[in-house]
Structure 1
Amino acid sequence: MKRKLAGEDGVENGISVIMIVYNEESVIAATLESVLWADEIVVVDSGSTDRTPEICRSFPKVRFVDQPWEGFGRQKNVALNHATTPWVFSLDADESVSPALAAEIRRVANGASCDGYFVKRKNFYGGQWVRHSGWWPDEVLRLFRRNAGRFSDRPVHETVELTGKVGRLENPLEHRSFHSVADFIRKADSYSTLGAELMRQKGRRSSATKAFTHGVFTFFKTYILRLGFLDGRAGLLIAASNAAGVFYRYMKALELQERES
């Protein structure tokens, strides 16, 4: 049976919030609470072993979908495929929408002049809003007409590929991903593995020299050119983590080259 669009049921320019999750029990309730204004919430879970499914299913608006992991872009397209409203807002499990941003999203969707909208992200390390280091304004395209956008098929750092005119929202999204040094280490290791695989797929060659020079330049760019030193200890940690992630990525890519040669 064909599913109705929310707009066909009388919700003009309805909005679906879509999310992908895995073991997010510590943050998911607060995130969902921040988007209860949406007409529906689609959550795609890739096999969580904690209380994430239970928490999500306790929210009446949530459509919960089990889906084996296929990569960030493909996973988000699964969520997009389950959305039924004219508009979609993509949200990560460690982000939240303020009442001001929620009101702006509803207002824009009801009188949109564009097909998609960028939103600024306020990134936090612990309780500190990081205003430099390349972390602000950190614009990401998150609100778009469902029939005008798809996520790129990338294993990491996926983006929305939009057909149509793009605008910008004024109110920021809050992102609280890092709470400790261990969080930075885990992300650097995980993303560098995915990045190395992407380099292999694109045929990009690596070497120990490239790993070192790219890592050093990344630290300089983050800490000096992007004024990371103004963020204090957080800026130093971000610069070092970015450099380590780039170094790991090139070294892992070199390992893949050597295995295939």
Structure 2
Amino acid sequence: MNSLAVVIITLNEERNIERCLKSIRDLADEVIVLDAFSTDRTPEICATYSVRFEQRAWEGYAASKNYLNSLATSDYILSLDADEALSTELYEEIKAEKAAGFQGTYCVNRLTNYMGKWIRHSGWFPDVKPRLFPKAGSYWSGEYVHEELVYPACELQTFKGVLAHYSYYSYEDHRARADKYSLLTAKKFHARGKKVGPLKPYISALGRFIAMYFIKLGFLDGWKGFKIAQISAQSNVLKYQELRRLNREGK
């Protein structure tokens, strides 16, 4: 049997963290929360659970997750976000696999809850990501946003149970975070020397809306599918407008 650490990064996650911690009950040999100095009840809630709670200034997604992984002493790591929770089926699958002995790296399929509705289209599902991996030889890569897990060459498996992702509680929350990621992506593109023309923001936005709402069947998600496509398109405009600004100013 391999030992297992569950690791979670937090910043003002009082709305989500308890649900996450409850979903991993008695599963791990150690649970470590790395908090970027939350000002809400996140530390207080974590104190009621058997977790190792550490605080450290935010250094970006990849750097923070790599530091968090370094704190683990277990053979394997399950990396979760505070707004995620294991479904009962996924919990049982991981528990059984742990008893048998982990082999290789494991993916989970995230199912997003968008203001009370489970989104099964719009390009949001399936959403398969490697999340359970050997500590040795694994690390997160990505300077700005959309960090990716680099793991040793090994067998890759996917659990059947879903990882519930409670992403957004309002349209305003969605727009704010989408814009945040767009600005970070613009910085990443600029650092790589990417340049775009004046029509790119609008052509890209139109393409994004058509892809998400029609090609990826977002209309089957109802009004929320429309809003997901709309907000994604609007943030695409921001991303390329910001990239053009950075290109002009040469920052």
What TM-score do the two structures reach when normalised by structure 1? Answer: 0.91
Structure 1 CA distance, aligned partners of 2:127 and 2:4?
23
Q: Does 1:257 align with 2:247?
A: yes
Residue 188 of structure 2 is matched in structure 1 by 198
Q: Does 1:175 align with 2:174?
A: no
Residue 237 of structure 1 is matched in structure 2 by 227
> Over aligned residue pairs, what C-alpha RMSD do you find?
1.4
Amino acid across the alignment from 2:225: G
Q: CA deviation at 1:221?
A: 0.7
Amino acid across the alignment from 1:52: T
Q: CA deviation at 1:99?
A: 2.6
Residue 116 of structure 1 is matched in structure 2 by 105
Amino acid across the alignment from 1:97: L
Query: 1:127-206 counterparts in 2 under 5 A?
Result: 127-163=116-152, 164-206=154-196
Q: Secondary structure at the match of 2:161?
A: coil
Structure 1 CA distance, aligned partners of 2:106 and 2:248?
43
Q: CA deviation at 1:190?
A: 0.8
Q: CA deviation at 1:178?
A: 1.2
Q: 1:82 aligns with which of 48, 53, 71?
A: 71
Aligned-residue sequence identity (percent) comes to 36
Amino acid across the alignment from 1:117: Y
Q: CA deviation at 1:14?
A: 1.6
Structure 1 CA distance, aligned partners of 2:225 and 2:109?
19
Structure 2 CA distance, aligned partners of 1:33 and 1:113?
22
The answer on whether the counterparts of 1:115 and 1:148 sit within 8 Å (CA) in structure 2 is no
Q: 2:48 aligns with which of 32, 35, 58?
A: 58
Residue 30 of structure 1 is matched in structure 2 by 19
Amino acid across the alignment from 2:45: I
Q: CA deviation at 1:106?
A: 2.0
Residue 209 of structure 2 is matched in structure 1 by 219
Residue 3 of structure 1 is matched in structure 2 by none
Structure 2 CA distance, aligned partners of 1:70 and 1:178?
23
Q: CA deviation at 1:73?
A: 1.0
Structure 1 CA distance, aligned partners of 2:5 and 2:235?
34
Q: CA deviation at 1:127?
A: 1.7
The structure where strand makes up a greater share of residues is: 2
Q: Secondary structure at the match of 1:208?
A: coil
Structure 2 CA distance, aligned partners of 1:148 and 1:130?
34
Give CA-to-partner distance per residue, 1:141-191, whole Å, 9 cap, x none: 111111142111332111111112211111110001112111111112111
Give CA-to-partner distance per residue, 1:170-219, whole Å, 9 cap, x none: 11100011121111111121111111111111111133311111111011
Greater mean deviation of Cα atoms: 79-88 or 51-60: 51-60
Residue 246 of structure 1 is matched in structure 2 by 236
Amino acid across the alignment from 2:250: E
Unaligned stretches of 5+ residues in structure 2: none
Amino acid across the alignment from 1:175: H
Residues 110, 154 of structure 1: alpha-carbon distance in 2 compared, 3 angstrom cutoff: farther
What TM-score do the two structures reach when normalised by structure 2? Answer: 0.95
The answer on whether the counterparts of 1:114 and 1:165 sit within 8 Å (CA) in structure 2 is yes
Structure 2 CA distance, aligned partners of 1:204 and 1:110?
48
Q: Secondary structure at the match of 1:172?
A: strand
Q: Secondary structure at the match of 1:101?
A: helix
Structure 1 CA distance, aligned partners of 2:130 and 2:10?
19
